[in-house]
Structure 1
Amino acid sequence: MEAIYIAYTISNVVGLFFLLVTIKWPKLARLLFVLLFAGASWFNYITCHTTPEAYLMYAESSVLECYKVFITGWFSQHITAVVSIIAIGQAMIAIGMLLNNWWIKLASSGIILFLACIAPFGIYSAFPFSVTVSLSAWFILKKDNLDYLWKFRSPGTSPNSG
C-alpha cells in the first residue's frame, strides 16, 4: 500500500509542475500533454489486453457508489473493449495537442472531461491531480496561440496574428 502513496505524491507534484509550466510556457505544456496522453494511451491499451482485471481495483477507491456498481458490474465483463476505447481517446488527445486551432480546443476539452470523469476514483486517480491538470488544459486555451506545436510565434507578434 505504501507504493500507492508514493505514486500519489509524485502524480500531484507532476500536476503542479504542469500547471506552473502551462502558465509560463503553454507550448511546452502542450508537449507534456502529448507525452502524458500518448504514454497513458499505450499503457492502458497494453494493460487492458494483458491484465484487464487490474482495472477492477478502481472500484475500491471510488467515492461514488455508482462507479463501484458500474465497475463490478457491466464494466467487469467488457474491460478490454472499454479501456481500448479510452486508450484511443487518449491517443486522439495527444494528437490534437500537436495540431492547431479547434483540434487543441477539442483536445483540451477532452482532457478536462476525462480528468473530471476519473476524479471520483480518489487516491487511485491521484485526486486533486485531475483538478490541477484540468486547470492546465484550460490555461492552454487562454494563453497559447493555438498554432501547430512545432510553430513558434516570432518575438513582437501577437498571439492572433497569422
Structure 2
Amino acid sequence: MFFSLTFFWTAYTVANLLFLVAIWGSKKWPRTTRLFFLLLFGWAAWFNASMALISPSVYQDYADTAIPLYRWFIMGPFVTIIRPMILVIAAGQALIAGSMLLKGELFKLGCWDGLVFGLAIAPLGLYAAFPSTVLMAIAFYRLQKNHDDTYLWETKNEKPGRRTNRKSLSTRHAAS
C-alpha cells in the first residue's frame, strides 16, 4: 500500500463515519446528502482517472485485502486491462455524481448505480474501507426513497416554468 498506516486508519474511520452520517442525512437532509455524493463521486472520478493514467499499477494493492475471487481477478486478468477498466469505473463515478444534480428517474437511476457500486467494491475489504461501502449503498437506497423530486439547485416549492416575479404580480393587482 502506498499510504502510511496512520493515514490509512484515519481515512478508514472517516469514511465509515461519513457514510453513517450519510445514512442519517439521506432522511433528515437529502439535499445535503446529494451534494455530498456529488462532490465525493466527482472527486473519485477525477482521482481514479488521474491515477489510471499516471500509475495504474497501484490498483493491484487492493488484492491484499480482497476476497479470494477478487484477488484472483486483480492479480490475473485485471493486470492487462487496469487502465481502461479504471477509466470506465471513473466514467461511471462521474455519471453517479452528475445524477445527484438531477431529478426523477435519472436521479433514482444514479442512486441505484451508487448502491450497486458500493456493493460491488465491498469485497475489496479493508482497502475499500469495508463496511463503509455497504453503508454507502444503504445511504443511496434511503436517498432515492426520500428525495423531493427536484433538481439539486431548485427549492422545494419552486416548479420549473412557474416562476413569478414580485413586480409583475404587483402590476397585475394594481391593474385590477
The answer, yes or no, to whether TM exceeds 0.5 is yes
Inter-partner Cα distance in structure 2 for 1:117 and 1:76: 19
Which moves more between the two structures, 47-56 or 13-22? 13-22
Alpha-carbon offset, residue 106 of structure 1: 0.8
Matched with 1:38 is 42
Map 1:131-146 onto structure 2 (within 5 A). 131-146=134-149
Q: Of residues 101, 107, 111 in structure 1, which corresponds to 2:110?
A: 107
Bigger Rg over Cα: 2
Confirm or deny that 1:154 pairs with 2:157: yes
Give 1:146 deviation, angstroms.
2.4
Q: What fraction of aligned residue pairs are identical, expressed as a percent?
A: 35
Q: TM-score, normalised by structure 2?
A: 0.84
Map 1:9-158 → 2, pairs under 5 A: 9-62=13-66, 64-154=67-157
Structure 2: how far apart are the matches of 1:76 and 1:67? 12
- What SS is found at the alignment partner of 1:78? helix
Deviations 1:41-94 (A, max 9, x none): 0000000100101100011110x2110111001111111100000000000011
**Residue type matched to 1:31 in 2?**
L
> What residue in structure 2 maps to residue 160 of structure 1?
none
Q: What is the CA–CA distance in structure 2 between the aligned matches of 1:100 and 1:152, rounded to whole Å?
A: 12
Unpaired runs of 5+ residues, structure 2, are 159-176
Q: Deviations over 1:18-39 (max 9, x none)?
A: 1222121111111111001000
Measure, in 1, the Cα distance between the counterparts of 2:31 and 2:124: 29
TM-score, normalised to structure 1's length? 0.91
SS at match of 1:98: coil
| Structure 1 residue runs of 4 or more that deviate by more than 3 Å after TM superposition | none
Partner of 2:172: none
| SS of equivalent to 1:148 | coil
RMSD: 1.3
